[in-house]
A and B are shown apart, each in its own frame.
Chain A
Amino acid sequence: MFSRHRSVIPGFGLSLGFTLTYLSLIVLVPLAAAFLKASGLTWPEFVEAVASPRVIASYKLTFGASFAAGVVNAVFGLAVAWVLVRYPFPGRRIVDALVDLPFALPTAVAGIALTAIYAPNGWVGQWLEPHGIKIAYTPTGVFIALTFVGLPFVVRTLQPVIEEIEPELEEAAATLGASRLQTILRVVFPPLLPALLTGFAMAFARALGEYGSVVFISGNMPMRTEITPLLIVTKLEQYDTAGATAIATVMLAVSFTLLLGINLLQKWSRRHQTA
């Protein structure tokens, strides 16, 4: 709250004023433009734009593939985080640094690299092709790309929580006669759950909006491998700005709800850690 005495440290008005102006000009006003533009549509127009069969098909693919990628990242991310925190092995720091690659590698580069690997003549694709398994240009390809972009989230949210588990708890369980596996499942795992859920939600949220890494490997066939962000771009290129904006507001509403949910999860997670 405002204190009666002015702080001796200067620059409050200047720094807050600049922060709010910059935030409004770059973020808040342009975002408001999207919602105002969408509100210019009549209700039937809006429903037609956001719920036509082609758009519904894109939601199904985007949400389905993002969910599957989040689940895979939760399972394997847990294993990676556990190995990185608990097992000493040579080169651990290099492997640890490499986990951030999906953040650092431009999405277009990831997109063409994954396509090259999983195309029918690619390093992996050529072994699957004879068995009738196709990855590039199918929904499975979308799933692969989304798994790549979401990979760091689960690992990075779990690592500090695993590090902070007090060894006394595990000692107590061992002294009381629990086997190592029982200790892991009943003592170590439950406090990790909030962080695991947070990491999953972050990977899922990131995957929903992803564009660059997916458009190359998906093949972009309407009704089959067309993700929602691509549909927004397509509508924009066809000068259907209102349609693109309507879909964008639906996606923004979902993203902001997820952001709120992630913030609540993080609070829950922190309470768990300090308890």
Chain B
Amino acid sequence: MASAVSKLHRTVTDPVVRPRALRDPLWLRVTLMTVAFLFLAGFLLLPLVSVFAEAFRRGIGAYFASFNDADGWHALRLTLLTAAIAVPANLVFGVAAAWCVAKFEFPGKSLLITLIDLPFAVSPVISGLIYVLVFGAHGWFGPWLDAHDIKIIFAVPGIVLATIFVTFPFIARELIPLMQAQGKDEEYAAITLGASGWQTFRRVTLPNIKWGLFYGVILCNARAMGEFGAVSVVSGHIRGVTNTLPLHVEILYNEYQFVGAFAAASLLALLALATLVLKSVVEWAHARHHG
């Protein structure tokens, strides 16, 4: 479903000036553009601007003073750690899934692709809940984990697992159509000429899919660092221990520390903007290579 975000698999063309008969009448153009711009300004630009406006409401000094917060720094470190585990895990999975789907024929292939998409259809809250049912105190492995003093729920492993679940399809969904479109002729040629499987992957496949790979990693990382609902259910909200940056934003907000909440939120908004810029750059680079 979130493959809707991906613009890598189509060529984006600039609008061309059309002959008069195929041009929309002026009143229609003006109306549609006004409606579209007002809608985007109200629903996209306004929230984005307000994050920074609220963060700087009491001045630059108060903004930077709010970063003097040990729990906030811990939350940031946990968010980075979570993404540093979840993204590579899903990267390896994405490459493996795309390799078997694109290079081989086997029964049940389309079912496999649908199953890979499942996490997109699951509410973030339920994504957290299912791990509570498996590893929580009353879950399947709860008593066993308790006996061996292993904590997953209300601890870092649960946060990582829930994050892996919600970002599960991102990289696979980029690579599968890309590798399917590229076919297997080049790999076939490399193998026939005596290259080993690993050499073929590294020297033939990887250069072909690098932009798709990078694109998937960008989208996956943005979601991994920003996830709220799933992580909220499994984290237990222990300050300075199991709070990620989005959860820390919630805690500060609920304690009426608005400058602190929006200052932390401004970091996440900068991450979102960086994601959008990188995404556009990769789309441009990919189109130049394959256009």
By a beta-carbon cutoff of 8 Å, the part of chain A in contact with chain B is 1-3, 7-12, 14-16, 18-20, 22-23, 26-31, 33-34, 37, 76, 79-80, 82-89, 92-93, 95-110, 112-114, 116-117, 123-124, 147-148, 151-153, 156-157, 160, 163, 167, 170-171, 174-175, 180-181, 184, 199, 202, 205-206, 208-212, 216, 229-230, 232-233, 236, 241, 244-245, 248, 251-252, 255-256, 258-259, 262-263
Q: What are 15 A-to-B residue pairs whose CB atoms are below 8 Å? A: A12-B106, A18-B92, A22-B93, A31-B118, A88-B15, A103-B2, A104-B275, A105-B47, A107-B124, A116-B262, A124-B46, A233-B232, A236-B132, A244-B129, A259-B120
Are A106 and B276 interface neighbours, CB within 8 A? Answer: no
Does residue B157 face the partner (Cβ distance < 8 Å to A)? no
Instruction: Please measure, in the bound complex, the distance between the C-alpha atom of A11 and the C-alpha atom of B102, giving whole angstroms.
Output: 12
Are B105 and A1 interface neighbours, CB within 8 A? Answer: yes
Partner of B32, one of A82, A174, A206: A82
Smallest CB separation, B113 vs chain A (Å):
10
Q: Which of B268-283 contact A (CB under 8 A)?
A: 268-269, 271-273, 275-277, 279-280
Residue pairs across A and B with CB atoms within 8 Å: the count is: 319
- Mask: chain B, 119-139; 1 = CB below 8 Å from A; 0 = not: 111111110011111101011
Inter-chain contacts of A98 with B (CB < 8 A): 40, 44-45, 276
Are B33 and A83 interface neighbours, CB within 8 A? Answer: yes
Name the CB-closest residue of B to A262.
B1
| Given pairs A19-B96, A88-B14, 16 additional interface contacts (CB within 8 A) | A9-B104, A10-B197, A27-B119, A31-B130, A34-B130, A88-B15, A104-B275, A109-B265, A117-B50, A180-B28, A202-B1, A211-B228, A229-B229, A232-B129, A241-B138, A259-B118
Are A100 and B131 interface neighbours, CB within 8 A? Answer: no
Are B4 and A113 interface neighbours, CB within 8 A? Answer: no
Inter-chain contacts of A259 with B (CB < 8 A): 1, 114, 117-118, 120-121
Instruction: Please measure, in the bound complex, the distance between the C-alpha atom of A208 and the C-alpha atom of B40, giving whole angstroms.
Output: 22
Inter-chain contacts of B261 with A (CB < 8 A): 112
Q: Which of B77-125 contact A (CB under 8 A)?
A: 92-93, 96-97, 99-100, 103-107, 112, 114-125
Smallest CB separation, A187 vs chain B (Å):
11
Does residue B202 face the partner (Cβ distance < 8 Å to A)? no
Instruction: Please measure, in the bound complex, the distance between the C-alpha atom of A170 and the C-alpha atom of B121, giving whole angstroms.
Output: 37
Does residue B222 face the partner (Cβ distance < 8 Å to A)? yes
Smallest CB separation, B144 vs chain A (Å):
15
Inter-chain contacts of B184 with A (CB < 8 A): 9
Are A236 and B129 interface neighbours, CB within 8 A? Answer: yes
Partner of A3, one of B105, B219, B223: B105
Known: A31-B118, A106-B228, A112-B262. A184 touches B24 (CB 8 A): yes
Inter-chain contacts of B54 with A (CB < 8 A): 113, 116
Inter-chain contacts of A209 with B (CB < 8 A): 122-126
Does residue B39 face the partner (Cβ distance < 8 Å to A)? yes
Instruction: Please measure, in the bound complex, the distance between the C-alpha atom of A157 and the C-alpha atom of B136, giving whole angstroms.
Output: 39
Partner of A8, one of B39, B112, B191: B191
Smallest CB separation, A161 vs chain B (Å):
10
* Stretch of B59-67, B207-215, B246-254 on the interface side: B246-254
7 closest residue pairs by CB, A with B:
A209-B123, A106-B226, A212-B228, A211-B229, A10-B197, A104-B272, A30-B130
Partner of A87, one of B29, B120, B168, B272: B29
Instruction: Please measure, in the bound complex, the distance between the C-alpha atom of A117 and the C-alpha atom of B51, giving whole angstroms.
Output: 10
Are A252 and B222 interface neighbours, CB within 8 A? Answer: no
Inter-chain contacts of A15 with B (CB < 8 A): 96-97, 99-100
- Which of B122, B271, B273 has the most chain A CB atoms closer than 10 A to its own CB? B122
Partner of A26, one of B168, B219, B276: B168
Smallest CB separation, A76 vs chain B (Å):
4
Are A108 and B250 interface neighbours, CB within 8 A? Answer: yes
Are B228 and A156 interface neighbours, CB within 8 A? Answer: no
Are A180 and B253 interface neighbours, CB within 8 A? Answer: no
Are B100 and A19 interface neighbours, CB within 8 A? Answer: yes
Instruction: Please measure, in the bound complex, the distance between the C-alpha atom of A112 and the C-alpha atom of B124, giving whole angstroms.
Output: 18
Partner of B5, one of A80, A152, A205: A152
Does residue B192 face the partner (Cβ distance < 8 Å to A)? yes
Instruction: Please measure, in the bound complex, the distance between the C-alpha atom of A233 and the C-alpha atom of B275, giving whole angstroms.
Output: 30
Known: A106-B227, A157-B4. A19 touches B112 (CB 8 A): yes
Smallest CB separation, B234 vs chain A (Å):
10
Instruction: Please measure, in the bound complex, the distance between the C-alpha atom of A248 and the C-alpha atom of B233, giving whole angstroms.
Output: 13
Name the CB-closest residue of B to A214.
B229
